[in-house]
């Protein structure tokens, strides 16, 4: 499940600053020291292949994830480990919106495009003029009812540029195409029904002139889907559901899942009690990746809902897993389920990074996926076979993944049951890692993962009330995992299947990561620090305090002046930051589905407000 935030106002970070800095820097320093041995043993990454290579680096940033492989790696290298300490603020832009800013700025045609949280304003900034002034803005004016009808937060994860058009989604369920030069609307298609609780928060991807969009709103009992719209006119080309009969899921003769339990007819019906699949969840709100050589797109599906696990015996296909589909027809080629019969709200929508890596001495086309359930999976992306699944956080809910069956080995004592107290459930509902996307550097060969370090207790039940109906729910409380810090930034070697270095952060690291050929990796913290660290060692090289906490996606580009720039949206919010963005009551620890308990001190560290920050060397 996903969840919201606000605009950049000046930080009021005054109390305890010194102690606070120590909290961040010292553990990072310690970890770097501790992990040094590993670092130097790994001096050369695997060979860079065509898919990953940005040899034709044009300095633009067209897709949230930079490339179809979702590496978030830029070959630009003006800014490097040796000079990043000189990085200076170049210009800023206030979005005027104060909910959580999760989007990546898009850069093309000497302009930068930013889409805000609800009301989903699209801004174009002119990069050819000093200070990046506003070129045009486009306001889709989504239904204000969407705020109350949408499940969670009013975030938006960004736009995509293709063929001189900007495509993005609105909270109330529309996909819009806008002329990148003029800001004029080209087409607008309503594909989500807000009256059913469907909303859209994801960043679309354009593949072969089709705009790929999926829905959000599993909490409301919507049925998940991914659809393809014709980029020319917005007409629906195909729509693939995540539950139900094979014909709805676009499962046909070419569907060849690797594991036996995914083989069979109409499993999207048969693995549920009768009709439960009709409101079964499996929404599609993560980033999509694409392998042009295999002609396959890869997308995750969210958790099953809104039934309690005991009410939906079975694997609940095709929720909490990953599909490989043909982008032309939507036809499914394979599926793998991270969490069959999900018990913990582990949406399977985290990014799938497509890499070619030497696994057991052989180059394999793989898909690397840091999953909510706490494992980094390496899958053969041609077949869906699991090559490795290794914990990257503290896990108590499972004891590993059985590579023969592909299934996680469940720990029965940690199974939540209604009105039963279960302590020490790790990871929590937002997972070892939520939506915040990782980056991969072909230079180091490592994946840079922003993530949580949290556990939760389920303690009895509490009364609640919705739509005139009293109900009862589990009293969930989340708290810091081992070590007492709530976030980590981890460099992960997907070949050796182990962490190389880790930086501890006070709060969950809810921003995306950016890797560059200058051996600098960028990410932001919920207090508002935008950080540059050494890709090899994790050493903190530079940081800047933004006005509001950072939950956005950093990007880099080459400006019209030939200089390399780095950009990030600040504006705290999202599920983790809802306590600030939505002003939740810190006394009610069960707010934001139990996340508030773990974030009670966030309002002491940041305030809301959306602002773009762009940096460059002097």
Paired tokens of 302? 């969210």
Q: Least distance (Å) from another protein to the CB of residue 582?
A: 6
Identify each DSSP E strand in 419-536 by its residue range. 422-425, 439-441, 446-452, 454-466, 469-480, 487-493, 498-505, 514-516, 520-524, 529-534
Q: Which of 67, 219, 434, 505 is catalytic?
A: 219
- C-beta atoms surrounding 225 within 10 Å: 24
Q: Could you say which of 303, 316, 352, 534 is catalytic? A: 303
205, 207, 210, 211: CA torsion to nearest 10: 0
Q: Are 74 and 516 in contact (CB under 8 A)?
A: yes
Residues in the chain: 618
Q: To the nearest whole angstrom, how small is the minimum distance from the Cβ of residue 612 to another protein?
A: 27
Give 312 or 605: the residue with its C-beta nearer to another protein: 312
Q: Does residue 585 carry a catalytic annotation?
A: no
Supply the minimum distance, in Å, between the C-beta of residue 274 and another protein: 6
Query: Is 356 in the active site?
Result: no
Helices (H), 140-292: 145-149, 246-249, 267-270
Task: Identify which of residues 49 and 193 has a Cβ nearer to another protein in the complex.
Answer: 193
User: Which of 159/194 has CB closer to another protein?
Assistant: 194
Give the residue with the Cβ less far from another protein, 360 or 463.
463
Measured from the CB atom, the residue of 458 and 519 that comes closer to another protein is: 458
548 contacts 572 by C-beta, under 8 angstroms: yes
| Closest C-alpha to 130, from 91, 80, 187 | 91
Please say whether the beta carbons of 70 and 352 come within 8 A. Answer: yes
> For residue 272, what are its two tokens?
């549920």
Sign of CA dihedral 77, 82, 86, 87: positive
**Calpha distance 527→605 (Å, rounded):** 6
Q: Which entry of 262, 331, 342, 345 is annotated as an active-site residue?
A: 345
Task: Tell me the closest approach of the beta carbon of residue 32 to another protein, in angstroms.
Answer: 37
CB of 103 to another protein, least distance (A): 21
Q: Whole-number minimum distance, CB 1 to another protein, in Å?
A: 7
- Check if 195 is active-site: no
Binding site for another protein (CB under 8 A): 1, 145, 147-149, 151-152, 193-197, 218-221, 273-276, 279, 281, 303-308, 310-311, 313, 345, 416, 418-419, 429, 458, 460-474, 476, 582-585, 588, 590, 593
In angstroms, what is the minimal distance from the CB of 345 to another protein? 6
Structure tokens at 53: 């290579």
Report how far apart, in Å, the C-alpha atoms of 5 and of each of 17, 208, 428, 550, 574 are: 23, 34, 21, 10, 6
* Residue 29 phi, psi (nearest 5): -60, -45
Minimum CB–partner distance for residue 466 and another protein (Å): 6
Q: What is the dihedral angle through the alpha carbons of 504, 578, 175, 146, rounded to the nearest 10 degrees? A: 170
Nearer to another protein, 153 or 262 (CB): 153
Residue 2 to residue 319: CA distance in whole angstroms: 15
Nearer to another protein, 136 or 418 (CB): 418
Residue 198 token pair: 């469907």
| Two structure tokens written together for 281 | 């969840």
Rounded CA-CA distance 203/186 in Å is: 18
Adjacency order of strands within the sheet including 210-214? 205-207, 210-214, 225-230, 236-241
Name the helix (H) or strand (E) containing 29.
helix 17-41
Give DSSP secondary structure letters for 187-198. EEEE-S-GGGT-
For another protein, the closer of residues 47 and 313 by Cβ is: 313
Q: How far is the CB of 437 from another protein (least distance, A)?
A: 24
Taking the C-alpha atoms of residue 543 and residue 528, their distance in angstroms, rounded to an integer, is: 10
In the complex with another protein, the residue whose CB is nearer, 18 or 275, is 275
Cα 541 to Cα 286: distance, rounded to the nearest angstrom: 31
Handedness of CA 112, 115, 116, 119 (dihedral sign): positive
Residue indicated by tokens 């969407």? 146
With respect to another protein, which residue has the nearer C-beta, 196 or 617?
196
Minimum separation from the CB atom of position 276 to another protein (A): 7
Strands 514-516 and 73-74: parallel
Q: Which residue shows structure tokens 């206030």?
A: 94
Which helix (H) or strand (E) segment is 578 a member of? helix 574-581
Residue 279 to residue 471: CA distance in whole angstroms: 19
Beta carbon of residue 410, minimum distance to another protein (angstroms, whole number): 17
Of 404 and 465, the one with the shorter C-beta distance to another protein is 465
Catalytic residues: 219, 303, 345
């Amino acid at each position: 499940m996903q969840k919201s935030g606000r605009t950049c106002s000046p930080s009021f970070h005054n109390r305890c600053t010194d102690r606070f800095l120590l909290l961040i820097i010292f553990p990072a320093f310690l970890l770097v020291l501790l992990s040094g041995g590993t670092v130097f043993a790994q001096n050369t990454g695997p060979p860079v292949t065509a898919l990953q290579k940005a040899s034709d680096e044009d300095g633009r940033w067209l897709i949230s994830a930079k490339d179809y492989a979702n590496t978030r790696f830029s070959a630009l290298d003006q800014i490097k480990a040796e000079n990043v300490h000189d990085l200076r603020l170049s210009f800023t832009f206030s979005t005027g919106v104060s909910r959580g800013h999760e989007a990546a700025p898009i850069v093309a045609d000497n302009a930068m495009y930013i889409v805000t949280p609800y009301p989903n304003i699209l801004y174009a900034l002119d990069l050819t003029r000093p200070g990046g002034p506003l070129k045009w803005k486009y306001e889709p004016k989504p239904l204000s009812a969407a705020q109350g009808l949408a499940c969670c937060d009013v975030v938006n994860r960004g736009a995509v540029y293709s063929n001189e058009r900007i495509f993005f989604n609105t909270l109330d369920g529309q996909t819009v195409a806008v002329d990148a030069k003029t800001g004029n609307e080209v087409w607008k298609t309503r594909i989500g029904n807000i009256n059913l609780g469907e909303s859209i928060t994801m960043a679309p991807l354009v593949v072969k002139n089709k705009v790929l969009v999926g829905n959000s709103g599993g909490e409301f009992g919507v049925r998940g889907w991914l659809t393809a719209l014709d980029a020319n006119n917005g007409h629906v080309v195909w729509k693939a559901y995540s539950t139900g009969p094979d014909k709805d899921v676009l499962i046909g003769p070419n569907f060849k899942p690797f594991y036996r339990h995914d083989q069979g007819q109409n499993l999207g019906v048969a693995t549920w009690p009768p009709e439960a699949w009709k409101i079964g969840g499996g929404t599609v709100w993560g980033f999509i990746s694409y392998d042009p050589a295999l002609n396959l797109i890869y997308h995750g599906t969210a958790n099953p809902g809104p039934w309690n696990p005991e009410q939906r015996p079975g694997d609940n296909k095709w929720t909490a897993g990953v599909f490989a589909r043909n982008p032309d027809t939507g036809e499914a080629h394979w599926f793998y389920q991270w969490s069959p019969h999900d018990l913990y709200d582990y949406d399977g929508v985290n990014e799938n990074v497509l890499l070619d890596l030497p696994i057991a001495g052989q180059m394999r086309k793989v898909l690397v996926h840091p999953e909510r359930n706490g494992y980094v999976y390496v899958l053969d992306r041609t077949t869906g076979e699991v090559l490795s699944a290794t914990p990257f956080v503290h896990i108590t809910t499972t004891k590993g993944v059985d590579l023969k069956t592909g299934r996680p080995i469940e720990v029965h004592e940690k199974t939540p049951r209604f009105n039963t107290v279960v302590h020490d459930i790790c990871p929590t509902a937002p997972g070892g890692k939520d939506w915040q996307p990782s980056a991969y550097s072909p230079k180091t060969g490592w994946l840079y993962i922003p993530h949580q370090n949290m556990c939760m207790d389920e303690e009895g039940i509490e009364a609640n009330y919705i739509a005139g109906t009293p109900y009862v729910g589990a009293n969930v409380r989340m708290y810091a995992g081992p070590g007492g810090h709530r976030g980590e930034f981890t460099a992960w070697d997907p070949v050796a299947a182990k962490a190389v270095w880790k930086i501890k952060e006070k709060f969950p690291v809810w921003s995306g990561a950016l890797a560059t050929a200058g051996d600098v990796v960028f990410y932001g913290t919920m207090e508002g620090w935008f950080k540059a660290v050494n890709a090899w060692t994790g050493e903190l090289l530079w940081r800047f305090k933004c006005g509001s906490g950072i939950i956005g996606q950093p990007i880099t580009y080459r400006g019209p002046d030939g200089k390399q720039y780095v950009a990030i949206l600040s504006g705290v919010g999202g599920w983790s930051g809802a306590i600030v963005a939505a002003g939740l009551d810190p006394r009610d620890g069960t707010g934001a589905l139990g996340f508030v308990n773990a974030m009670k001190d966030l309002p002491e560290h940041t305030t809301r407000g959306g602002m773009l920050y762009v940096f460059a060397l002097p």
